[in-house]
Amino acid sequence: MASKGKRAVPEGADPDLVKLSDVTTPVELDDVLTVPTAFLDKMPLTIEWSQKFQTHTDKYYEVAFTNTTKANAKYYLFISSGKLDAFKGLDTAKGANGKLTVKVTTDFQYGQKDKTGKNRFLVYHEPVRDVMKQSRFIEGSFVTYGNMAGGFIDDKKGDNDASKLIDVGTRLLGDPLRKFAPK
């Protein structure tokens, strides 16, 4: 992925958010992640979605996680503001070294670029939000950081950023977040 279109991280946000790109090792159920505590409640994104013919909005915190089970691969995690304390409660290391250590459970949902699991990102929120589309998070991240959408767009020589955004909408609109199946 080319770095074209990336912006600087806003002050106070996780600097890893603009460094992430094509991750080919997807996070899976029972993988262990580390998440820096310093950025957990910084720079919320406003995510909007429709459910039961009503429009809803919530603030989500976007941070980079490290998958310690899978060669320290890094990618995106979105945590609903209403579930932030519950997420912190999943920490098995009690905040050691300024990081939370969390095991991926069926309480997480995910989105991804393709059926291989490329660029899989995680969402931790209320289970009743299972109708949410992954494009809501890609769009929110891109608007704030100019970063995540690039991992969902195949670079083509000569394309401009506007055509790439249209491509994102066309290819991802309607793809739901997925649930991890229990083992």
Q: Is residue 10 part of a domain?
A: no
At residue 170 the predicted structure's pLDDT band, cuts being 50, 70 and 90, is very low
pLDDT at 64 over 90: no
- Please indicate, yes or no, if residue 3 is contained in any of the structural domains: no
| Contact criterion met (CB below 8 Å) for 148 and 165 | no
Residue tagged 């980079």 (tokens): 64
Domain coverage including residue 168: 15-179
SS3 (DSSP) at 165 = helix
Angstrom distance (rounded) from CA 93 to CA 68: 13
Q: How many domains does the chain divide into?
A: 1
Two tokens at 54?
């009503």
Q: Which residues of 127-166 are buried (b: 16+ CB within 10 A; e: fewer)?
A: eebeebbbbbbbbbbbebbbbbbbbbbeeeeeeeeeebee
Does residue 179 surpass a pLDDT of 70?
yes
Domain contains 46:
yes
C-alpha 12/C-alpha 113 separation (Å) is 28
**58: part of which helix (H) or strand (E)?**
strand 54-67
* pLDDT tens, residue by residue, 112-137: 878 888 888 899 999 888 777 776 67
Pairwise pLDDT comparison (76 vs 105), residue with the higher score: 105
| Beta carbons of 76 and 148 less than 8 angstroms apart | yes
pLDDT band at 156 (very low <50, low <70, confident <90, very high): very low
Q: What is the pLDDT of residue 58?
A: 92
pLDDT higher for 7 or 76? 76
pTM for this entry:
0.76
> Would residue 159 count as lying in a domain?
yes
Query: How many whole angstroms separate alpha carbon 179 and alpha carbon 183?
Result: 12
Is residue 1, in this structure, part of any structural domain at all? no
Between 114 and 141, residue with greater pLDDT = 114
Assigned domain for 168 exists: yes
Mean pLDDT, range 85-106, rounded to an integer = 94
Question: Is 4 domain-assigned?
Answer: no
